[in-house]
Amino acid sequence: MIYAYDGSFEGFLSCVFESFKSKEMPQDIISVQEEQIPLLPSFKVKTESDKADRVVKSILKNFGYEIFFFIQNGFLSCLEHKEIILLEFFHKIYKDKRIIKDISDNTVLTLTKAVENLIGEAHLFKGFVRFSMHKDILIASIKPKNFVLHILIRYFIERLPNENFLIYDEGRKIAAVYNKAGFAEFKDEQNNQNINSGAKIGGIEDSLNGLNGRELTAKTANSKTKLKGGYIISEINLPSNVENEETLYKDLWKKFYKTIAIKERENLKLRQNLMPKRYWENLTEMEQELKKVRY
């Protein structure tokens, strides 16, 4: 038996509830969004908030917040077959709590490495995010392997509390948005529905709407995640044009980067180790270097 779910964390927790309720261990858990063709009979698990909440409450009661965030980050990692591995983890820790920190267990070790990879990548992006000013909002694009927006949005909210900003995950087509004055209202273009409960305000929304002459839209409402002081939204249209003033600042930054470099102390191999090439595409100062690289 294979479980099929909608790809959301709440949907996965519903799968966990179903597994414990039915006292069965599926051979795999697949997301309907991935368009996989299951070779075995599949059972579509309906996402139910009350069941997901019961699972969350049980985790917090029995294991605490640390394990809950460990599970959440494991789910947001780029680990292949993460759902079934996480479900195995659930069954093991409810049988024996001591296994939680036992890295000799293959399931625990695999998840630990996946979470460490996610946290490590998020740490790198804290230094590799480059914002550009459009109207009165800062916009940055990134291409992470793991889903790291939930970590980055909190990090930059603490450091840029008086700015409107948006960080866009190009691969997943999802953006994390922060509005210094309140929550923006975004709409599902196809269904004409709001995808968050924030109040409509004049600050960030007007700025975003003016970027490309049309309203910023989101097409996948169920992937929205509420954050303290921000929202994650899906499938947006970013501006392709850059204002003259912003171009000037980009040129100044490139000149600064080039000027402070000491030619005699160049170590290209070390630079590549500390700043892998896959991050270069979204780094302003590496635009010229990227043109020289042959992939």
| Tens of pLDDT, residue by residue, the chain (295 residues) | 899 998 889 999 999 999 999 999 999 999 887 656 667 778 899 999 999 999 999 999 999 999 999 999 999 999 999 999 999 999 999 999 999 989 999 999 999 999 999 999 999 999 889 888 877 788 888 999 999 988 898 898 889 888 888 888 888 888 888 877 654 333 333 333 333 333 222 334 444 443 332 233 333 333 344 444 445 555 555 555 556 677 777 777 777 777 887 888 878 788 777 877 787 777 777 766 666 655 4
Instruction: Give the C-alpha separation, 176 to 226, whole Å.
Output: 10
Instruction: Give the C-alpha separation, 82 to 75, whole Å.
Output: 6
Contact yes or no for 122/148 (Cβ under 8 A): yes
- Domain ranges in the chain? 2-121, 129-234, 244-292
**Smallest Cα–Cα separation from 191: which of 226, 212, 220, 232?**
220
